[in-house]
Amino acid sequence: MWPVLLNWNGILIYSYPLFIGLSWGLGFRLAEARLPKDIPHKKFIYWMIGLFITSWIGAKLLFLLTQNQWSTEELVNSQSFWLGGGFVFLGGMILSGLYTWLVGFFQSDLKITKMNFTLVPLLYAHALGRVGCFLAGCCYGVESNLPWAIKMHGLHRHPTQIYEAIGLVALASILQKKSVQEVSLIQYFLGYGALRWVIENYRGDELRGLWMGQSSSQWVSLGFILIAIILIIRKKTNTKA
């Protein structure tokens, strides 16, 4: 683990918030480069600001709802919680997705069905964020004796953060070969839902809690897969009609 990247005369640079910031910067620039001509750049900027706020809140809320080590009051009153760690990516995605869906009602050029150009950038940015998780030592794996196991929290463990980062880059590379119009939420929900569900089986941290043998993230991942299946069926039904 390398939670502090630099300690210079008392000035600390922490790996996790640094990589979270870098991931947002990467995602923004990649999405901006793929911005369709029919979406005004100014509207895109405003949408991104709202996306950042809602994803931050959503990631924090899902962490509060699923973690089982600290009291909610203790975390809510902690400045380090709001400004530091304690994010659940899926929570951020859900709330920011709802935000985008709502924005589409008022801005037709920002309908959620037109925002597929952000999916590939999202995958690359998420992968970079997972490197931050690896350096900080969060989201770690169960014990493993495989040659690539990493010493973390006193044991040799599956580097689940790196597994996910590699999977995200692989999925992004596949989708990047398609045109912006060909990339869809169906592909993202199926691909990332399956990837996250598998990775969760090798997670060793116990912050997320378990329900019926599945972590909260696994239930959300299954929800993504179910949504994708429903969208596929709906698409085929509309095509036949």
Locate the domains of the chain by residue range: 4-240
Q: Among residues 230, 178, 225, which one has the least CA distance to residue 200?
A: 225
Q: What is the pLDDT of residue 206?
A: 73
Beta pairing partners, 8:
11
Name the 3-class secondary structure at 62: helix
The token pair at 19 is 């990589």
Percent of the chain with pLDDT over 90: 66
Between 239 and 49, the higher pLDDT residue: 49
Residue 57 in this model has a pLDDT that exceeds 80: yes
Nearest 5 degrees, angle CA 57-CA 115-CA 38? 130
Residue partners of 200: CB distance under 8 A and separation at least 6: 214, 215, 217, 218, 221
Joined together, the tokens standing for residue 66 give 């699923």
Q: Does position 97 have pLDDT exceeding 90, yes or no? A: yes
Which ranges of the chain does DSSP label H, i.e. alpha helix? 15-33, 41-66, 72-76, 79-83, 89-106, 119-136, 160-176, 185-200, 216-240
| Contact in structure between 62 and 88 (CB atoms under 8 Å) | yes
Average of pLDDT values for 101-124?
Answer: 93
Q: What is the pLDDT of residue 223?
A: 95
* Pairwise CA distance, residues 141 & 146, whole Å: 12
| 54 band by pLDDT with thresholds 50, 70 and 90 | very high
